[in-house]
Amino acid sequence: MDHDTRLRRAAVLVLPYAAIALVYGTLFAMWSGRLPEEVAIHFSGLTADGYSSQAGMVWPALGVLLGMGALFGAAQYFGRMPLEARRLIYPVSYGCAALMGYLFIGTFMLQLDLESARGVALSGRHMLAGSVVVLLSGYIGFRLAALGPQDPAPEPGGAGVAPRLPMSPGQQASWTRAVGTTGLGLLVVGSVLLAAVLAAALGAWMAALPSLLFGLVPLAFLSVRVTVDRRGVRIGSGLLARFGKTIPLERIAGARSQQISPMKDFQGWGYRVRPGRSGLVTRTGEALTVELVGGREFVVTVDDSKTAAALLNTLVDGK
């Protein structure tokens, strides 16, 4: 995918967040004098139960909007995001933008010309209208996902048993390669951390702490190292490399290199388990497929998988 295409697709994801932030900031600049000094910023159910200054309302909201837009844009620009991934991410992005825009702007408008924000409440009508806006925005995102140039087709010839790697009798060899996850993984982590920062800024520490911890855990899995040697295949994930998965050579029947699409082949990213196969899938593209004794397969997405498969087949032949 060329630079201009990635830039245009990233801009499509950033646009709704930037537009909502502009509208929200403009409304605040024009009508902040019509707001009470203490405004409602948190609702329990439909009734306000958390309050702050006007600055405590506008700046966190603008930060979240611009931060979410930057995260989704970076995920598209730096990540390998094929059409099936875009059809998932674009509706989510546009739906999130619509939801935040409706809540931020809606609660702002609800408090205009009030002497006090105490007792401000949303109604079922507001929730219904918000749901319609989110669904329509998600549909727009889904339609936009398919616009632009088509994705290049995967390189042919990925399937089939890999050739052996020539080795002299008694010679030892090993292969290792690190692969980083796509912008999608960073998007998930960043979104959770951003939500935690917002909750902390609004004083909801009990909600912020679990979100922060949940967001920090995936940081250990943003880089995966795959090693092939006489012991078999070892997959270590980032900071937890010492506790990774090892497939002994005795359990391996063969290996091959193939092209993998996370959504098409595994219905998602991360550690996946499907009938007859499992794997660690962090992106679209080249993958090492290990054929296990008994018929199952283990797949890990990694560059130079043809060399890894060839070495593994040679080691299996000599075990």
Residues 70-87 have pLDDT tens digits of 888 887 887 667 777 788
175-180+222-317: CATH topology is PH-domain like (2.30.29)
13-45: pLDDT as tens digits: 999 999 999 999 999 999 999 999 999 988 877
**pLDDT of 272 higher than 70:** yes
Compute the radius of gyration of the chain from its Cα atoms. Answer: 25
Question: Residue 214: which pLDDT band, with cuts at 50, 70 and 90?
Answer: low
- Of 45-54, 202-211, 268-277, the poorest mean pLDDT is in 202-211
79-131: pLDDT as tens digits: 667 777 788 889 989 998 999 999 899 999 999 999 999 888 888 888 899 99
Tokens of 193: 């951390």
Looking from the CA of 154 toward its CB, the CA atoms found within 13 Å total 16
Report the residue count for the chain.
Answer: 319
Question: Which pLDDT belongs to residue 182?
Answer: 55
What are the domain boundaries of the chain? 3-150, 175-180+222-317
- Of 285 and 297, the one with more pLDDT: 297
CA separation for the pair 298, 296 (Å, rounded): 7
143-196: pLDDT as tens digits: 999 887 766 554 444 444 567 888 777 788 899 998 766 555 655 666 666 666
